[in-house]
Amino acid sequence: MTSRLRAADIMDRRAEGADRPTIDGEAEALRREAVSRFEGFLLDRANPGARFRNRACQPLDRRLFQEASEIGLLQFGLPTEIGGAGRDKFEWGVVIAELARISRDPGFPVLLDITVENTELILSSGRTELIDRYVPDLVAGRRFAVQGAYESRDPYDYQTTARFEDGHWVLNGAKRFLAGAVFADLFVCYVRDEASNDMLAFAVERDDPGVTAVRLETMGMRTMGMGQLVLHDVRLPEWRLVWRSDALSELNTYARNRRTMSGCGVLGAMEGVVDACVESLAIRRRSGRRVLDYPNVERSIGEMRMLLESARSSLYRALDATRAARRDPYFDALATTAKHQVSEAAVRVGQLVMNLQGGESYMSAFPWEQYMRDVLGLIGGQGSQEMLLIQLGQRSIVGLEGRRLKQDVAERTVSRLADSWWAVSAQEARAGAAAHRSEVSAAIDDVLLAAGLTGAADGADDTLAGLTRQATAFQSCATAVRTGLLAALLQPGTVAEAAERVGLAPDNARELLGALTDTQLVQSLPGDAYVVHPGLERLVVGGPRTAAFKARLRRAVDGGAGLRAGTAGGPGVQAAGRGDDAPLLADVFANELLGRLEGLEDLLDRPELRIGCAAGDGGRSMDALARELPVARVLAIEPDGVPADEVGETRHPWGPAPEVRVGDLDSFAPDDGLCLAWVPAVGWSTAHLERRVEAAARALVPGGWLVMTLPLPPKRKLGAAVLGLELALTGSEPVAQGTVEDLLRRTGLGHIRWFWQDANLGLQLVASRRER
């Protein structure tokens, strides 16, 4: 007779081998893996529209979990025998924390782990009928499972009961608090056996007669689909019994892991809000000083850092203990302690953030109040000397600014390489006497003069040689981005490993890595290994910023090639601020800047009003705005039109499909009823831009806002000349800040604000408001 299989036999997997790096070192390697494999998915699929789903108390789209399975995320923490990756709970916990850090919807990583652990529960039953029916669908994300246990009563005093009658189990009662109940289709329900008073567990399907899921309104975690499960004379066949006896022990096995994993979600959310808080304070000044330079602010940030690190230490210790050979299968003191510690720390962090943010912390337009509500909801599932706290605050600020500095250095390096590429391309175009329009030729002359490549310049040959080396490095960078080599090196690897990851020949990979190492965009490690510069992570991981970065590289590569061939410029040339830049700009607008435009959120909620988009980029800007602002209707003016099925419910499941009007890009009408007009300023002449702004301003309702996307002139002499050349290629004219403001005022708009810019991507946003 074989021994009974228990949940602990399935859940307690241990990494083989005694030699391991430190916990922090191992966690950092796992974080990099999570960034490389899964962060782009969250940025592209889970994050868009999250803020508005939260406001509307709209549950997550079930399709996200099926998509998570398609990229291997759902399988990451599941056993290999059912198609999982077999990673242990420490590894899975670090991944959940990283997902929670970058997720704008805190419910997604929590729900992800819930369905994973309920899949393990079904598997641990050892019952072939249950495993064959449910596990394949759960692993593939076609089903979603939650457990129903909570009744606020002792388990042996449950009011939800089961009785065996005529060959079936009959269940009656209710479970009061289930995450995911609104959209789950499988429930592992714990009930009391009327005959034995023992606890049993059953697999209950949503479609079983007598099963009702009732939505539960909560203060926080509004997208988790919280609900109550009502069971009325639910008749189940005997094979639906998950455990025939002592289900309480299996519930305790589940609970000890859930305490740790829920703590991982809180830890990630806490780290994200601390970083966001410091970032938002970095640009504020009081009495001529940076807010971050005040000792009381440093002290508060120091306390947040202390709370974060103490919570992390407690949680990592609990996660590491899940790999212990003699772990108690039913109760884990470290897991319980970590859950309490992390929750208490998160609440205190929320209080500190609210103190630092002032009135903004009480506004739903900013993320602080949502964080506080969500953390308070997770609770259900001391100090030190002042100087130490100040020092911790200083270190935290320095660390964050150091990370930003690394990003700026890496991105400026790419920008300078791109400038060199343009300069060398301009020189070859001039040497080859390629034919260009007069305005393009004048811009080429400006680039050559700024680069020191004019015939009269001293040392022009040496300058050209240096620029050529940098242009070659730029080509290597563009190739490494296009082939995915840079993204592959988010995880360190040898030349052979990196080449295999992206399907390159090893010799080609080595040549690219050599050029990138010379420019320090890639760092060499012992053992012929390489890793991408940490400052480039956010440019290659995926998501809107990666798309904008790739678009800038493509503009340079295509523009330079066109200069050499004499074919650069003309219709169809992609311009900055449109096309692949649109997802980033829409993301920044919706999630960072929208709350600073007075009255706009209320206007977006009015169903008769629309967002007007005149980008002329084949629907990319329209699509990005519709994804990020799903509460509003989007009207786009497109010269060629966009097929309706490209912007339908498949891509915008949380809002109305955009409307497309074919016509001139300046053909907005006053009766269009726009609360927001989105007008990129690049790609047309000044006269055409003026007509478009005037038409958009007339179509705005009182209180509506016009947002323009513009290129940001670099401070570098060569960079400014290169921007002039790019504008000439797109048929645009340089638009000075004063010119833009004069144009907006002439059209009756006020409250002009230059409220966002990114020097490394060369983009900026300006907004103005119609008063009447």
Note whether 415 and 552 are within 8 A (CB).
no
Q: Band of the pLDDT at 13, cuts 50, 70, 90?
A: low
> How sure is the predictor about 644, in pLDDT bands with cuts at 50, 70 and 90?
very low
**Longest CA–CA separation in the chain, Å:** 102
- Segment 179-201, tens digit of pLDDT: 889 999 999 999 999 999 999 99
Which of the four pLDDT bands, split at 50, 70 and 90, describes residue 650?
very low
Euclidean distance between CA atoms 202 and 101, whole angstroms: 34
pLDDT of residue 460: 67
Helix 23-34 to helix 89-102 angle, to the nearest 10 degrees? 60
101 is written with which tokens?
A: 């850090």
Band of the pLDDT at 677, cuts 50, 70, 90?
very high
* Rounded mean pLDDT, 309-332: 87
Q: What is the pLDDT of residue 145?
A: 93
**pLDDT digit string, tens, across residues 502-539:** 999 999 989 999 889 988 899 998 888 999 998 888 88
* Beta-sheet pairing, 700-711 with 763-770: antiparallel
* pLDDT tens digits along 18-30: 455 788 889 999 9
Q: What is residue 652's predicted lDDT score, i.e. its pLDDT?
A: 57
DSSP-derived letter for residue 685 is -
The b/e string for 84-105 (b: 16+ C-beta within 10 A; e otherwise) is bebbbbbbbbbbbbbbbbbbbb
Question: Would the pTM of this model clear 0.75, i.e. be above it?
Answer: yes
524-to-186, 533, 537, 628 alpha-carbon distances in Å? 49, 10, 16, 39
Contact 710, 577 (CB under 8 A): yes
pLDDT in tens, 605-620: 998 999 999 988 888 8
Per-residue HEC secondary structure of 313-367 comes to HHHHHHHHHCCCCCCCCCCCHHHHHHHHHHHHHHHHHHHHHHHHHHHHHHCCCCH
Query: Is residue 482 predicted with pLDDT exceeding 70?
Result: yes
- Closest listed residue to residue 10, CA positions, set 78, 69, 112: 78
Mean pLDDT of the chain: 86
Q: Is the pLDDT of residue 379 over 70?
A: no
**Whole-number Å distance between alpha carbons of 140 and 67:** 9
Three-state DSSP state, 767: strand
Q: What is the pLDDT of residues 411-466, one digit of tens each?
A: 899 899 999 998 888 888 888 776 677 888 888 888 888 888 876 555 667 888 88
Q: Is the pLDDT of residue 584 over 90?
A: yes
Q: Is 285 exposed, middle or buried (0-12, 13-18, 19+ CB in 10 A)?
A: exposed
Query: Hey, what amino acid is at 583?
Result: P
Q: Output phi, psi for 332, to 5 deg.
A: -130, 105
Per DSSP, the three-state class of 163 is strand
Q: Name the one residue in this structure whose structure tokens are 């120091």.
A: 302
Q: What per-residue confidence (pLDDT) applies to 14? A: 61
Nearest residue to 698 (alpha-carbon basis) of 664, 658, 735, 667: 667
Q: Which of 145, 31, 167, 172 lies closest to 78 in space, CA to CA?
A: 145
**pLDDT attached to residue 12:** 66
Q: Using 50, 70 and 90 to split pLDDT, how confident is the model at 303?
A: very high
**φ, ψ for residue 707, nearest 5 deg:** -115, 125
In this structure, what DSSP letter does residue 527 have? T
Residues 419/716, Cβ–Cβ less than 8 Å: yes
Confidence class for position 260, pLDDT limits 50, 70, 90 = confident
Q: For the CA atoms of the chain, what is the radius of gyration? A: 29
- Residue-level pLDDT at 654: 65
Which residues touch 642 (CB under 8 Å, ≥6 apart)? 618, 619, 622, 636, 660
**Spatial contact of 652 and 622, defined as CB atoms under 8 Å apart:** no
pLDDT tens-digit readout, 586-603: 999 999 899 899 999 999
| Pick from 769, 766, 629, 765: nearest CA to 704 | 769
Calpha distance 486→512 (Å, rounded): 10
**What confidence tens digit (pLDDT) does each residue in 129-183 have?**
999 999 999 999 999 999 888 887 777 888 999 999 999 999 999 998 888 899 9
DSSP assignment of 385-454: -HHHHHHHHHHHHHHHHHHHHHHHHHHHHHHHHHHHHHHHHHHHHHHTT----HHHHHHHHHHHHHHT-S
Name the percent of the chain lying above pLDDT 90.
41
Backbone angles phi, psi at 687, to 5 degrees: -65, -45
pLDDT score for 37: 94
Partners of residue 228 on adjacent β-strands: 214
pLDDT digits (tens, 9 = 90+) for 33-74: 999 999 999 999 999 988 888 888 888 888 999 999 999 999
For the segment 393-419, what is each residue's pLDDT rounded down to a tens digit? Answer: 777 888 888 888 888 888 899 899 999
The CA distance from 232 to 642, in Å, is: 50
CA distance 476 to 629: 37
